Amino acid sequence: MSNTVIVGAQWGDEGKGKIIDILSKDADYVVRYQGGNNAGHTVVIVSEEFIFHLIPSGVLHKKAICVIGNGVVVDPKALLSEIAMLRSKGIEASGKVFVSEQAHVIFPYHQTMDSLRESKKGKIGTTKRGIGPCYADKVSRCGIRVQDLLDPKALKEKLQSNIEEKNKSLAAIYKFEGFSFDGIYKEYLEYGREIKKYVTNTTFLINNAIAKKKRVLFEGAQGTLLDIDHGTYPYVTSSNATAGGACTGTGVGPSRIDKVIGVVKAYTTRVGEGPFPTEFEAPLMEKIRKKGKEYGATTGRPRRCGWFDAVLGRYSVMVNGIDELVVTKLDVLDDLDKIKIAVGYKFNGKLYKDFPTNSTVVEGCEPVYETHDGWLEDTTRVKKLSGLPLNARKYINRLEKLLGAHVSMVSTGSKRDQLIKRID
């Protein structure tokens, strides 16, 4: 394995956690480059389920060094609780987990701003973890970074000025009573003391590793259509979830990246508000949600489910430069008689074969479907591609053709061994 980026090629929740865990076996470093604890990456080992929100999903492998890059927004309380969870399972984070001193820190006022905004009309359906407001401060150049938590004077100055400004605007817009400086200052200084041993210059750490020919896996969170630039704006997250984010979010140049793997679910899901052309009607929605256990790993919210959308899939392959695809949760379709794939969108009498970046079109379009016969057989124990029912193989081949990328793995269950590696 070379230096590889793994991205979600839909609206997140594609099952990246399992794939990252499997690929981490051969990785020296596993690096998160964007997002924060809005992510929920699930890994199932035997019958034990782990959900990682901030720490890379590769942490369960002995060898892998896990890095939280500069592009991530860090809630130190969430980080410490994940470290404690690992410790309770016998995994020591010290010397294994590193956090960028340049990463921005999520404060309580970010979470409050996120929640208050969500209570207004026109909400996004965020995870309310403070992600958007924290990135907004980063871009406004008033953010507080991990390195500031280790410097009482810098933290004091920056926090005072942020709290003063936020209190004024929260009072004016939402009549919110405001935050007091002392409690937050003390709490975050303490977090600084606790996370100090994990904090480092991760840009040098990763680049030095690459120079020594170590293998680095870049773990994307969320998904392509949630990317702040390339997603279904404004119903997106606030970071670059696409493969390009791996460079800006770590300080590794594009020429150092050898491969991009895109993960797609055999159908489509999204959580939160926003357009979703292939969304199911009620009875099928319930059936697939139940069978696919489609509930948010972070918020527990029911996910919206729909048919596979090859229009957005092809777009994802393009904007990420995807070399290989992994198709997950194929087994969820096992008992469907007919399976549809969207191959185009229709809007105002015009046919769109390429994903339209105009939000009015995506919001108002009607998908154009092709219908395939289902396979009506259990695929959860299949170990080889040739062992899949013929119609399941035809479905995979069709996705491959429509998206224009090779499918290298197919997952048919949540466990590590429920994975078909394609060798043809």
What is the Cα–Cα distance from 326 to 17, expressed in whole angstroms? 12
Cα separations in angstroms, 345 against 180, 231, 348: 51, 17, 10
What is the Cα–Cα distance from 343 to 127, expressed in whole angstroms? 31
Q: How long is the chain? A: 424
Interface residue with ligand IMP, options 3, 5, 13, 54 (CB under 6 A): 13
Of 21, 26, 28, 41, the active-site residue reads 41
**Closest distance between ligand IMP and the C-beta of residue 223, in Å?**
7
By CB under 6 A, is residue 220 in contact with ligand IMP? no
What is the Cα–Cα distance from 348 to 359, expressed in whole angstroms? 14
Strand extents, DSSP E, 9-164? 29-32, 41-45, 48-52, 65-68, 73-74, 97-100, 104-105
Contact 8, 269 (CB under 8 A): no
**Closest distance between ligand IMP and the C-beta of residue 159, in Å?**
22
**Closest distance between ligand IMP and the C-beta of residue 92, in Å?**
26
Contacts of ligand IMP in 274-313 (CB under 6 A): none
Interface residue with ligand IMP, options 15, 69, 76, 132 (CB under 6 A): 132
Is 41 known to be catalytic?
Answer: yes
Interface residue with ligand IMP, options 4, 6, 10, 12 (CB under 6 A): 12
**Closest distance between ligand IMP and the C-beta of residue 313, in Å?**
17
Is 13 known to be catalytic?
Answer: yes
The sheet carrying 406-411 orders its strands as: 199-200, 97-100, 65-68, 29-32, 216-219, 4-8, 259-265, 324-328, 406-411, 419-421
By CB under 6 A, is residue 19 in contact with ligand IMP? no
How many residues make contact with ligand IMP (CB under 6 A)? 20
Nearer to ligand IMP, 316 or 379 (CB): 316
Interface residue with ligand IMP, options 34, 162, 202, 237 (CB under 6 A): 237
What is the Cα–Cα distance from 6 to 260, expressed in whole angstroms? 6
**Closest distance between ligand IMP and the C-beta of residue 114, in Å?**
7
Segment lying near ligand IMP (by CB under 6 A), choices 104-112, 165-173, 233-241, 253-261: 233-241
**Closest distance between ligand IMP and the C-beta of residue 106, in Å?**
11
Amino acid at 150: L
Beta bridge partners of 264: 327
Binding map of ligand IMP across residues 25-64, x = CB under 6 A, - = no contact: -------------xxx------------------------
Contacts of ligand IMP in 110-129 (CB under 6 A): 124-127, 129
- Give the H or E element holding residue 394: helix 390-403
Q: Which of 19, 12, 48 is nearest to 127 (CA)?
A: 12
- Give the H or E element holding residue 268: strand 268-270
Nearer to ligand IMP, 100 or 127 (CB): 127
Interface residue with ligand IMP, options 19, 261, 271, 325 (CB under 6 A): 271
Of 13, 21, 75, 148, the active-site residue reads 13
Contact 32, 64 (CB under 8 A): no
Contacts of 284 (CB under 8 A, 6+ apart): 305
Using CB positions, name the residue nearest to ligand IMP: 272
Contact positions vs ligand IMP (CB under 6 A): 12-13, 38-40, 124-127, 129, 131-132, 221-222, 226, 235, 237-238, 271-272
- Annotated catalytic residues are 13, 41
